[in-house]
Structure 1
């Protein structure tokens, strides 16, 4: 990447990280609800801007939409769990479409097994943790997103891992709704796992798209 490209584009990633860290540090501070909601959304909103600027073609726009819907979900879930979940659900559907458009040409037996495990285990564990039918339905899309990401041509160690971190962060949210209830470990881990997952997904997809599109280099 040229120095000019670094100056032009890396600030989106830097702004995203700063916003995400600031939200995590200030989440218990006596800030106004609107200010904290906006700060929370900015972390992934800046990833959407990064994807829109850096990723080429239709697939680039799709990953930008996925991140934008994530940012909407981050803000909306502070007001309504259903509204926030709906935004994430739509984001998962768009992500599934993106990953299926970019399926890996060949997969090993272990890779297929991992994808099936994500597809099946994600909603099953979500149900066991929450005992909520709506959560289980949402998690079908979540698991399909993770399975499709794992089976896509995008790097598993970046995009696949990011999708798994997203799943784990949601599982921790669901623990609050079921027999386990509120717990300090979940409070500490949900945001770092979620944001790290989104960051890995956005940067992994963008870099892969640029690597396979010569005119974007």
Structure 2
């Protein structure tokens, strides 16, 4: 990547990482509630800015929308789970639109099967984790869209072990949230893993998509 591009664009990734780490280290800690929410939202929100700065095409704008809606969801989840869930639902729908625009033409049967497994087992596992919860049906519907998003990411033309794996990490993060609502309600494990799996997943998605878009439009791989 040219030095000027590094100076202009990489700071958004570095600031995003710094915000994500800061939130992880200070969640339920010294930061006041409002400040903590803003730091949390900045983690993925800055990935939205990164997408807009690194590519001018419509797909980058769609990716920025995906990340912006997720950042809104991050903040809203601290206030109202329903509002936060709705923001993430919208983010997944926007992500599916992006991945449908970049379908992989040469999928193997194992890739198709894994995508189908994500679609089927994500809502099934979510349902089993929260079966006793009053919102179990709504959670299962949300998880169906989540699994569909991950399946489309896995079978898209974007790098499978960045974008596809990032979407799978997103699924794992949400399943940990559902586990914390049910069978792992008293376990400290979800609290330690939810944010890292979610943020790393979003980071992989954002950088993987942008790298591909830049490669397609400029014929270069370069750095994210």
5+ residue gaps, structure 1, are none
Q: Tell me if the contact between 1:56 and 1:210 (Cα under 8 Å) persists in the aligned partners.
A: no
5+ residue gaps, structure 2, are none
**Partner residue in 2 for 1:117:** 117
> Partners of 2:218 and 2:24 in 1: how far apart?
38
Q: Tell me if the contact between 2:40 and 2:74 (Cα under 8 Å) persists in the aligned partners.
A: yes
CA drift of 1:77 comes to 0.3
In the alignment, does 2:154 pair up with 1:150?
yes
Question: C-alpha deviations, 1:120-141, integer Å up to 9, x for none?
Answer: 0111101111121111010111
Q: CA RMSD in A?
A: 1.2
> Partners of 2:62 and 2:183 in 1: how far apart?
37
Matches for 1:15-30 after TM superposition, within 5 Å: 15-30=15-30
In the alignment, does 2:169 pair up with 1:174?
no
Provide the secondary structure at the position in 2 that maps to 1:208. helix
Q: Tell me if the contact between 1:111 and 1:150 (Cα under 8 Å) persists in the aligned partners.
A: yes
Q: Tell me if the contact between 2:184 and 2:190 (Cα under 8 Å) persists in the aligned partners.
A: no
TM-score of the superposed pair, with normalisation by structure 2: 0.94
Question: C-alpha deviations, 1:65-122, integer Å up to 9, x for none?
Answer: 0000010000000000000000000000000000011000110011001100001011
Q: Tell me if the contact between 1:175 and 1:182 (Cα under 8 Å) persists in the aligned partners.
A: no
> Partners of 1:6 and 1:64 in 2: how far apart?
19
**Partner residue in 2 for 1:140:** 144
CA drift of 1:215 comes to 8.2
**Partner residue in 2 for 1:105:** 105
TM-score of the superposed pair, with normalisation by structure 1: 0.97
Question: C-alpha deviations, 1:35-71, integer Å up to 9, x for none?
Answer: 1000100000000000011123111100000000010
> Partners of 1:209 and 1:17 in 2: how far apart?
22
Could you list the structure 1 runs, at least 4 aligned residues long, displaced by more than 3 angstroms after superposition.
none
Query: What is the aligned residue count?
Result: 217
Provide the secondary structure at the position in 1 that maps to 2:184. coil
